[in-house]
Amino acid sequence: MALKLIAKQLEKLYQEIPEECGFSAGPLEDDMLHWEASILGPEDSPYHGGRFWLRIDFTADYPFRPPKIIFLTKVFHPNVEPDGKICIDFLQDEWKPSYTIGYLLMAICSLLLHPHPDNPANQEAANTYLSDPEKFKQTAEEWTKLHAV
């Protein structure tokens, strides 16, 4: 079931997501359970101008369990661990089988625009975001220029 659904979602992916969002995604070497994706840093964010690469690993029981999604590109963000793991409710406790790959990519892009410092994976980034927003923006922009361009 997982492979069939993933193939169907891949087919519809570019219909779901507006072209201007700058997403790309697809399986690695025809392995439908392991994908690579990229998203552009959203305008009005310190990530603007960067392209961020992600690894998406689906389980055999997808969509009943969420895929594991990690940033391959280093990113200074409250909800992204130093190893790239994304810590956000919709990829864990609040997962719903109705979520599509397109939805997940748009949600991750939205997370870049609107961090959730109350549920941090990177304490340093969260503390900086809350205590010194200008320093957070500067650091995130520097990391974007260094790692995502």
* C-alpha to C-alpha distance for 100 and 9, rounded to whole angstroms: 7
> For the chain, what's the residue count?
149
Instruction: Catalytic residue, from 87, 106, 107, 130: name it.
Output: 87
Check residue 45 and give left, alpha or beta (phi > 0: left; psi -120 to 50: alpha).
Answer: beta
Question: CA–CA distance from 112 to each of 5, 65, 117 (Å)?
Answer: 27, 23, 12
Catalytic residue flag (residue 87)? yes
Point out the residues that are catalytic: 87
